[in-house]
Structure 1
Amino acid sequence: MRTPLRGPGVPAWRIWLRWTAGFLAFPIAGLAGRAASGPVDDATSALVGGIVTGAVIGAGQALVSSGRLSPLRWSAATTAGGGLGLLLGAALAGYRTDLGSLALMGAVEGVLLGMAQACALPHTARLPWLWAAAMPLLWAAGWAVTTLAGVGVDARFTVFGATGALTFSALSGVLLHHLLPVTTPGRTTRPGSLREVDA
């Protein structure tokens, strides 16, 4: 007897909403990264903080992905991309916390993170390079929204706050649905459709 990934007829917006709710992993990841490395003010703290933060975010995203992402591969990719990305991004931004510097840091981290995650997408993903291309923009947007929301970014966190995370998760969820629709044995959800159809 086959067990479907999700019940037939579940609207796609519920899948998107579940992914968007995964923004809660970001503040948890930020706390974990902060506990492990302290403020991001040198190469060591950036690397350690980015690794820990990436591991928590990757696990959280895999959990809310409705089975579309491999927990092991996605977590490993996000851990590596997050660690190396924050290391390089923070260094290029000079560890500054003004809006432009944080947007730059986010864009650079998004490049490495996006490439790593694109490689971790299942082979059924459509145009996975779009994910890699979008991550620099979305990660920079996360930092920009957090800064403009008045969050105390001077504390040099390892990842943007809840407002930026909500923005990032909502936008990336739309992209993920179009690149990697939910599939079940004998059924598939086509990009842009609201309900499953027989394959």
Structure 2
Amino acid sequence: MRVPFPGHRRPALGAWIRWTAGFLAFPIAGLAGRAAVGPVDDAMSALVGGVVTGAVIGAAQALVSSGRLSPPRWSAATAAGSGVGLVLGATLVGYRTDLGSLALMGAVEGALLGVAQASALPRAARIRWLWASAMPVLWAAGWTVTTLAGVRVDARFTVFGATGALTLSALSGVLLHALLPATTPGRTTGSDSLREVDA
């Protein structure tokens, strides 16, 4: 009978903490999107702002993923999903910034983003459709938490604020570990999964 080694839990906890700390990239990404296009008030600003914001978030998430995600693939997928998703979501709600509209916009963006990111997960990822299914809920939650925290969402940023980002990062970190553990019983790391993809 195999007895779990307590040390296995520490790498998993460390990987989750690093991933969750990646929430700090969201405000930076929002500022980058704002600098690129200003407020999101038409299709072009949504598309370009979403792509810029997604590229920053994707690069940061890959950086803090403990070697489980390919930086070029994850950044490109996040940029594409965020750009197209923000256009569709913002257009659907008429660029309104009330709580219901932002939650719906987040769900639409999360749906496109989730599919794009799920396709960028390494082949070793388990049931990747769970990631695609979770992102609409988590992105809607991100906008909801940010709005309820009193952030001036009427400024029409390209992404929700730090409170929403922290919520999304903490929850998605648990999901990422379920789909693509930082360690396995054989002590294989996520970097091995990337090597398998690159091979």
TM-score of the aligned structures, taking structure 2 as reference length: 0.88
Measure the CA separation in 2 of the matches of 1:151 and 1:15.
29
1:70 is aligned to 70
Query: 2:158 is aligned with what amino acid?
Result: T
2:130 is aligned to 130
Which sections of structure 1, spanning at least 5 residues, go unmatched? 1-6, 190-199
1:81 is aligned to 81
TM-score of the aligned structures, taking structure 1 as reference length: 0.88
1:195 is aligned to none
Measure the CA separation in 1 of the matches of 2:145 and 2:48.
24
Shift of 1:14: 1.2
Please tell me whether residue 139 in structure 1 is matched to residue 139 in structure 2: yes
Shift of 1:183: 4.4
Shift of 1:8: 7.4
1:47 is aligned to 47
Q: Deviations over 1:6-62 (max 9, x none)?
A: x97743111101000000000000000000010000001000100000000000000
Count of residues paired in the alignment? 182
Measure the CA separation in 2 of the matches of 1:81 and 1:161.
19
Which sections of structure 2, spanning at least 5 residues, go unmatched? 1-6, 190-199
Runs in 1 of length 4+ with deviation above 2 angstroms? Answer: 7-11
1:167 is aligned to 167
Task: Report the structure, 1 or 2, having the larger helix content.
Answer: 2
Query: 1:132 is aligned with what amino acid?
Result: A
Asked if the contact 2:54–2:75 (Cα under 8 Å) also holds between the matched residues in 1, the reply is: yes
Shift of 1:173: 0.2
1:194 is aligned to none
Query: 2:153 is aligned with what amino acid?
Result: V
Please tell me whether residue 106 in structure 1 is matched to residue 106 in structure 2: yes
Please tell me whether residue 153 in structure 1 is matched to residue 153 in structure 2: yes
Q: Deviations over 1:67-86 (max 9, x none)?
A: 00000100000010000000
Measure the CA separation in 2 of the matches of 1:11 and 1:74.
22
**SS in structure 1 opposite 2:76?**
helix
What's the Cα RMSD here?
1.5
Measure the CA separation in 2 of the matches of 1:36 and 1:103.
24
Asked if the contact 1:131–1:175 (Cα under 8 Å) also holds between the matched residues in 2, the reply is: yes
Please tell me whether residue 26 in structure 1 is matched to residue 34 in structure 2: no
